[in-house]
Every structure is written in C-alpha cells, then in structure tokens.
Structure 1
Amino acid sequence: MSGDSTQGWRHPGYLAVIDLVAVRAGLLPPSCPAAAMEGIDRAMARAGLSDFPAYLAQLEADIAMLDDLLVELTIGETYFFRNPEHFQFVRHQVLPDVQRRRGPAHVVRAWSAGCASGEEPYSLAVLLLEEGYGEKMEVRATDVSRAALARAQVARYGEWSLRGTEAGRMRPFLHLEGKRYTLDAQVRARVHFDYLNLADDTWPSQAHGIWGMDVIFCRNVLIYFNRSTIEAVARRLHASLADGGFLITGPSDPTLGTYAPFETLLTDWGIVYHRPAAGDASRRSFPSVPPPAPLPPLPPRVPPPVAVTPPVPAATAPPPKPTTPAALAGARRALEAGDWREAVRLAGAHPEDAEAEAVAVRALANLDALAAVRRCAEAALRHPLAAELRYLEALLLLGLGRLPESERAARQALYLEPSLAVAHLMLGHILRRLGDTTGARRAFHTAESLCASLPPETLVALGDGERAGHLAEVARAERTRLEKAREEVRE
C-alpha cells in the first residue's frame, strides 16, 4: 500500500498481503487494521503457515487460498428477507413489469451475487413460489467463499437466520431438526449455486448461467471494492441484465450510474438500477411510492425554525462553476437580487441541468409555493441523484405542513448524500413534530457531529451562508432540549 500510513500494522507482511488482495480481488484497504490482521492470522493458521513470504507465494499460486482469505476480510452478514423493501419491489414492480413485457410463459431469471450462506437466494425462490412461478423460475447464486457455498447447499439454519421482520415467511418451508432448521427440498431445488469472484472478468457467461437476468441482487458487496473494480463490476452487472432488467444494491453500496449506462430509479427507500428495453420510455422514478395527495391550499406564511428552514432564496448562492452556462449565472444573479420571475425564466431554460432546476425551484418558491413543490418533484424525476432537489422538496413540504411527505423527501436526500448536515437538522424538526422524539434526537446529534467535525467558519453545504460552528450550536441546543424534556418526563 504505497503512500498509505503503516500505523497500526504489526508487521509489513500484513501490508504486502493487503496489497496483493487489492491487485487480485480489487478490495479496498481495510478500515480496521486490527480486525484485518486477526483475519489474516486465522487464514495463515488454516494454511499451516506463519511466514509471510511463504504465505504470499501460496496466495499467488492457489486461488482457493486467496478465496479463504477474502472471507476473512469481508463480512457475510445475511438473514432471510433482509431489507424486505427490496423483495416488495420485486413482488410489486419487477414481476408485473416482466410479465407485461415477456408474457406469462416467461421463466424469470434472478441472480444473488455474493450470496454468502444462501439466505438471500432462498428468499428470492420463496418469493417466486409465493407468486406462483413454480417451474417458471431460475435463481442463480454465487459467492467467492466455497465454504459459504457448501453451507448454502446444505441449507441448515438456526434462529439467527430468521431474525428479520419478514423472515417468518420462510417457516412454512423449514423443518425443525434438533436445534436447527432444514430447508424444504422444493426450495433448494430452485437455486443453483456456483463459485464466482466478481472481480474476475469471466462473466457474464452463458456457460455459467450468468446472463439475461430479470433481477440481480448485489447487496453490500461493492462496498469492499476499489474504484476501478467497482467500475468494471458495474459494467458487467449491466451486461448481465436482460433488456428491462433491474439491479438492486445495498444501502451502503456506491452509486453506479456514472460507471454503466443504467437508468437510475429513485424509490422511497433508495436507488434501483434499470436496463431499459429498446423502445421503452425513460422512467426516472418508479411507482413504488403512491403518488402524493392533492396539494392543500397554501397556508399563511409561518417563520421557519431557526437555521433549519432558511428562506428558499439563497442570499449567498455559490458562484457559478466555470462550466455553468452564462444564462445560469444570470439566473443566480437574479435570484440574489430578488428578481424571482427572471430567475425562473433563465434557469428554466436548462431543465437538463440539476443546478439550474434548483435555482428555478428556489426562485419559484417566492412566487407560488405549490408550484415550486410541483416543479421540484418533476425536476427530481429528471435528476434522481440530485440531493439538493430532494432537500428543497422536503423544505417546501415542511413549510406546507405535509410532514410525512417531507420526511420521505428528507430521507431520500440523506440516502443520496449522508453527510448533508442541513438535511439531518431538518429531519430532526420533522420527526419532533411527528412525535418521534427518539428519531429527532438522533437526527440532531448527527447534524451536530457533522458540523462539529468541520472548522467553525466553514460554510455548510446548502446552508445558505450558515457556518458549521453556528449550526453545530443550533443542533446541540435542539438535542439538549429534547433530552431535558425526556428527563423531566421520567421524573
């Protein structure tokens, strides 16, 4: 790891092992050296080696030994129907879409990439059985750990694999034998397991069954890869999808829209990637969330909470970037000068630019709040990865008193940009008004921590000129007030 600090590593041999793993498997350097060293120690002990040069030579020559090490450096955390919203998306959106395009006789093809001990692909198989696909399914499951694949094929599980809120759906297919459950043969027969290192360029491949997938689950795998490996894997995942297919990643995984020609769909719980079929109309969002109720009449203007819902026109809007069109620079000047209509006119001429759309929304909010909400929602469909548009939507909905919708938009903004301190601060106010004081305290604490980590005079992103030191104090005061109220209730 040339250029990296060696602080915390007991021996340079560990660094050599990590360097080899980065080259061979595309993994990032581990964030916790102590845990990585312990994992390497265990892998070396299983190999019967204590000498680093000998171990490195074996890793170069023996792919199975490298696979064994990779298991130690990654976390195979899984259970049945983990992240149930992903499976609901398959049930309510993917399957009807596939049936509409491919017809009722089509065999649905699903792939669990990084399947660990098998709970994820078996959950997919049970979902398809529940939906009546029976013999009209093919579920593929791959992993880099041969030991995990062996456990998955045995399909014996303990209660820990059933800890999720939706895991009870598996119980009709499980048979208690002693203290463990054995999965029913009809489910096991629906899943085909195989070894695959996603960092290798051996896929997609018809010979291995990795091609033409209607849905791919690749969750909490990409977080371990370095950027060049993520880019290559993203391209291969796109190539592995059938036209019209969907890719679902984990909530902590990096976004892939810049690495492959996916259509990026934003749901209320996160991002889904879509490979449009030829002739399909673009779908920048997917109807996984019911459309909002008709907008109510505009309420009287109420002063926003201090430093949380600042006036929408940014008095200190950032200067235009060198690549920003001259018209957008003019729109920013009009916004700063309070010439709202001119700002809307100039910025509105660039709907393809997310920054221009944000300027138009900010200006329109001073003319017609309801129109600004509609404009913001439409712009967010065109630019599903623009956190600022989701933040503005949450801000406007909060001003209209539409708290559940405001919360949803704020959480979408934070999904896209987890470090957006003003969105955490706003979420705290929303949750407090909704009666969720525990969630509000957590949001205020996160906002406080994010701002406190910056120099006090740093301008906060989307904070309209607010400094990190001041917003940290605001968040701290809000958190403290809630904590005092909780203590008073206890007394």
Structure 2
Amino acid sequence: MSLEQAPWSHPGYGLVFAYVQQRAGLQLPTCIPAAEEGIARAMARTGLEDLRLYQSLLASDPSVFDALLNELTIGETYFFRTHEHFDFLRHQALPELRRMRGPEHAMRVWSAGCSSGEEPYSLAVLLMEEGYGHRMEVHATDISRAALAHAQQAHYSAWSLRSTGAERMRPFLRQEDKRYVLAPEVRQRVRFQYLNLALDTWPSPESGIGGMDIIFCRNVLIYFTRDTIAAVARRLYESLADGGFLITGPSDPSLSGFAPLEPLLTGWGVAWQRLAPGVRPAPAAPPSFASLPPLPPLPVAPAPVRFPTPPPLPVLPPPVLSPPTAPPPAPVPPRPPDRLEPARQAMERGDWQDAAQLARAQADGPESAEVAIRALANVNPEAAAAACAEAASRFPLAAGLRYLEAVLLLGLGRLAEAERAARQVVYLEPRLAVAHLTLGHVLRRRNDTAGAARAFRSAEELCAALPPDTAVPLSEGERAGSLARVAHDERLRLELMMTTPEER
C-alpha cells in the first residue's frame, strides 16, 4: 500500500506523514488509525487543530517534530537489553578485534538510535569490564533531541533496570528517591549528538562517525522504507572499519543485498561484519559422502530410436491479406530448466546414492546442498547432520538448510543443538510454520512445556491463516489444514499438562 492509497480519514494526515517520511525515511505503518491517533496526540500538545498549520509548524520547530516522532515510533530501551548481543561482543567480537588491532587499540563504538541512553551506557560498562578503561570512544546518536537530553541527564527509573543483565549497572548507579543517577565515570565515556540516519550527512569527519569497530543499530531499520534501508545499510557499511561488527535488532530486516557485509549466524540471530578487501571466509570442505558405498556400473545405453525422415511440406499459396489486427501478446519466456530435477527424481525412486551425486554435480548452492543432504540422511544421518552444519555455515541465511539441520539433530537426539538450529530458522523465516512445529517438538523433549506450547500455537496460527489445501513450505507436501490440526492437538495436550486437576 502506497502513501497515496492509504485510507486516511482526512488528507491532512497523509500530508503530515508524507513530510515525516521525506525527512526521516519512515515507512507507512500497517495500522493507519494508530498513526492518526499518534499525530492527533502530538498535535494536541501544540494546541493546533488545523493539520496544514501543524505541518508548517513541524518544519519550523524541531521540538514539535521530535514529539511527533516519539508518537510514531517506539523508544523501548533498557540497560543491557538483549543480553545475547552483549555476550557476542564479550566472547567473539572484542577478542577478534583485539587480535586484529592489538592490545593498545582504542575501541570505537557507536550506538545509532540511542534513545534515552541505556544502550550506549551499557556498551561503555561492558568495555570497562573488559579492561579498556580510557581506551574507548563511545558515540551515541538519535533523531530525537528530547531523548538525547534525557540521555545526557542520565537519571533513570527502576524500569530501565528490568532485565537480568542490568544488574551489571547497579555498581554505577546511585539511588535518589525513586530515581537512579549514573556515575560520572560512565557518563563521561559517552559522547551524545543529534543525527538523522535518513540524511546523507554521515559518515564524515564532522559527525565523528567513521572507522567504527562496533555499531549497534537495533530496532531502528524496522521503521524505514526500503529505499531508506538500502541507503542506511550502505552508510553503516562505510562507517565500519575493516573487520568491524554491526549488530541489528531481531525484528530488523536483513541487510543481505544492501551492503557487502558478511552475515554471521549466531544462536540469537545474525550479526554482520565488514571484511577487509580481498578477505573472504575460508571455504569449507564440501559435504563428505565417503560413507556411501561405490555406485554400481551404469548399464549399457540402448541404441537410440531413429525416426523416419518426414516428407517435404507442400507449397502453400500466398495468404490473402486482411486488415491489420492488434499484435498478439508477447510470448511468455520459457522457464529455465530445473537442474536439480534429475536428483529429485532419483530421490522419489529411493535411489539415494544417485540423488546425492546428481545434486553434487550441480553448481554449489543451498538448494543443491539440501537435496544432497536429504539423500545422505537416508543412508547415514550422522554424516548428513555434519554435512548440513558445514553447508549452513557456507550459506548462513538459507533457512531451508537450517531447518533440515534442526530435523536431523532432533532425530539424532542432540536436543540442545536442535533447539539452536530451530531458533535460527524461526529468526530467519518467522512465518515458516514447520520451523515452529519442529521447535515445539524439540522443546517438549527438553521438558520446556510452556515454550513448546507457544511454539505449537505459532505453528497452528500460521497454518490456520492459509487455505486448508495449501502445501506448507518445506513440509514435504503436507497441507496447511492437516498441520494445523497436528499443532492444535499438540498444544492442547501440553496445556492440559500445565493445568491443575482443579482447573480441569
């Protein structure tokens, strides 16, 4: 739905949002009434009732524009939010950067979209814990001047300490009544400044943005249009030093195709790294099929069938010209041949060895690897799981490979690894029903009854949203109605286990 097609109750709302989109790159929200309510609340604070006058005020008063942005976006943040990201820095990113840069390097970190400051202060504390002391530069930017003022004041409520990881902040907080005041030793390590990510004003020496070792840009890209995401992704890449890491939020769009960043698939999602020119990840060895017995010799091909030469066509008289007619529709170009079709046919015949070799003969890619691994799984599941893990490392954004890995690991009883793979699939493809279904089976076997019930509910809802006869992706032809019933029954069984006899 375009901005012009949106069902605004008054055209003035569309004009106001068009101005916000032009200036901040925000995409059109899916719920237009909610956007109108946000605009109305921001307008009420100005005392204006005319939408055109309000639009003029937006252009002239930065505080009014800030207030509107706060209504149209969610500034949700707290100390050490999503602790997995900070664990990734501690255990992987910082050690790797230390090896590349040397022990005396001053770490440059940027919190892009810092809101009220909890994120950059958490980054500063992490660096202090890791021994960087004064060898750090923590930059923090936001488009909201009100949020920046709050961040620089560094007074917080208990709500900013609601995560488990936030306990690490308590040594640096002094309680005053119901507020917590951050210690100067942390505050002085963070530099705050205004920056509109949608504008082409960075990276630059003037902004101080450039040559960053670590960038946190979490839960910001979700608000941008596709064109803005592409532009911001390129500038984020340009802002990183070689070897630097970019962390985005779990709901943010993938940056694959927008910038030459290397995806790093972790247990919590995807991190991104800018590799040095000419440096690429070491190619992994191709899947091993040594455990398969040699193929039997092929039978001698029968003699080709020869068709008789057809007689010459008769000479036809010239056609009678008729009045010109509309040109016929342009022919539809033929679909390119499916190079994996012979391998798939071998799979259907149960000829696993032939299927694996036919798939391996094709160009290296996630689809050919998946077919080969499926064939190998019918002969040696352990080897298939190893081959799948290797292929998934080469194609970290291929959800099909990760799903296949989760299924194989579940069958082998390697439940912790299966859960990790299943969660990675859910991150890569949140609407893939079979991923939620597999995660439910894994969690049930790990005695996480509540988590399994949630996973089955997600699978049930995704399948129920499809026509019952629709084939569910990656389900080997299972229909949506059938899988919805399976997920429904599994969920009810688990929910019954969680209820007390009195509740039943």
TM-score exceeds 0.5: yes
Give the Cα separation in 2 of the matches to 1:419 and 1:271.
17
Letter in 2 for 1:91: R
Q: Please state if 1:68 is matched with 2:80.
A: no
CA contact (8 A) 1:264 1:284 kept: no
The correspondence for 2:398, drawn from 373, 386, 410, is 386
Q: Structure 1 residues 156 and 63 mapped into 2: Cα distance closer, same or farther (>3 Å)?
A: closer
Letter in 1 for 2:199: D
CA change 1:100–1:194 in 2 (3 A) is: same
Letter in 2 for 1:207: E
Report the identity percentage.
62
- Does residue 477 (structure 1) correspond to residue 489 (structure 2)? The answer is yes
Deviation at 1:431, TM superposition (A): 1.1
Q: Report if the CA contact (8 A) 2:116-2:148 is conserved.
A: yes
For residue 93 of structure 2, what is the aligned residue in structure 1? 94
Deviations 1:33-69 (A, max 9, x none): 3332232123223334221111222334455533332
Corresponding residue for residue 114 of structure 1: 113
8 Å CA contact retained: 2:137, 2:190: yes
Give the structure 2 partner of residue 28 of structure 1. 27
Name the residue aligned to 1:310.
Answer: none
**Residue 133 of structure 2 corresponds to which residue in structure 1?**
134
1:349-360 equivalence runs, <5 A: 349-350=361-362, 352-360=364-372
For 2:418 and 2:450, how far apart are their aligned partners in 1? 18
Aligned-partner Cα distance in 2 for 1:146–1:284: 47
Contact 1:428/1:444 (CA < 8 Å) preserved in 2?
A: yes
Post-superposition Cα deviations, 1:354-386, rounded to whole Å, max 9, x if no partner, equal: 111111111111121111101100110010001
**Match of residue 407, structure 2, among 391, 395, 399:** 395
Q: 1:368 matched to which residue of 2?
A: 380
1:437 is aligned, of 443, 449, 464, to 449
Residue 349 of structure 1 deviates from its aligned partner by 3.0
Write the distance in 2 (CA, Å) between the matches of 1:356 and 1:27.
39
State yes or no: 1:178 paired with 2:185: no
| Matched ranges for 1:44-443 at <5 A | 44-282=43-281, 322-323=335-336, 326=339, 328-350=340-362, 352-443=364-455
Supply the distance in 2 between the matched residues of 1:180 and 1:60 (Cα, whole angstroms): 35
Taking the aligned partners of 1:322 and 1:283, their CA distance within structure 2 comes to: 35
185 and 462 in structure 1: CA distance in 2 versus 1, 3 angstrom threshold: same
Q: Which moved more, 1:370-379 or 1:338-347?
A: 338-347
| TM-aligned CA distance change 1:381 to 1:271, over 3 Å | same
Contact 1:364–1:372 (8 Å) recurs in 2: yes
| TM superposition shift of 1:264 | 0.5
Pair 1:42–1:135, CA change in 2 (3 A):
same
Q: Is the 8 A contact 2:6 2:32 kept in 1?
A: no
| Aligned residue pairs, count | 454
Give the CA deviation at 1:205.
Answer: 1.2
Kept in 1, the 8 Å contact 2:347–2:375? The answer is yes
Cα distance between partner residues in 2 of 1:352 and 1:223: 33
Flag the 1:360–1:338 CA change in 2: closer, same or farther, 3 A: same
After the TM superposition, which of the residue ranges 227-236 and 344-353 deviates more from structure 2? 344-353
Q: Shift in Å at residue 322 of structure 1?
A: 4.0
CA distance in 1, matches of 2:392, 2:108: 31
- What are the Cα deviations for residues 288-341 of structure 1, in whole angstroms up to 9, with x where unaligned? xxxxxxxxxxxxxxxxxxxxxxxxxxxxxxxxx945663x23222222222211
What does residue 298 of structure 1 align with? none
- Alignment-mate amino acid for residue 234 of structure 2: R
Give me the CA root mean square deviation.
Answer: 1.9
Distance in 2 (CA, whole Å) between partners of 1:405 and 1:385 is 18
TM-score by length of 2: 0.86
Quote the Cα distance in structure 1 between the aligned partners of 2:488 and 2:231.
43
CA distance in 2, matches of 1:190, 1:233: 26
Q: Which amino acid aligns with 1:431?
A: L
Structure 1: runs of 5 or more not aligned: 286-320
Report the counterpart of residue 12 of structure 1 in structure 2.
11
Residue type matched to 2:253 in 1? P
Contact 1:78 1:119 in 2 (8 A): yes
Structure 1 match to 2:309: none
Change (3 A) 1:96 1:468: same
Give the alignment partner of residue 449 of structure 1, picking from 451, 454, 461. 461
Q: CA distance change for structure 1 residues 449 and 398 in 2, over 3 Å: closer, same or farther? A: same
Is the 1:376–1:393 contact (alpha carbons within 8 Å) kept by the matching residues of 2? yes
Write the distance in 2 (CA, Å) between the matches of 1:283 and 1:250.
Answer: 27
What letter corresponds to residue 237 of structure 1 in structure 2?
L
Task: For residues 224-262 of structure 1, give each alpha carbon's deviation from its aligned partner in whole angstroms, at most 9, with x where no partner exists.
Answer: 011111111100100000000000000000000110000
Whose radius of gyration is greater, 1 or 2? Answer: 2
Tell me how far 1:278 sits from its aligned partner. Answer: 3.5
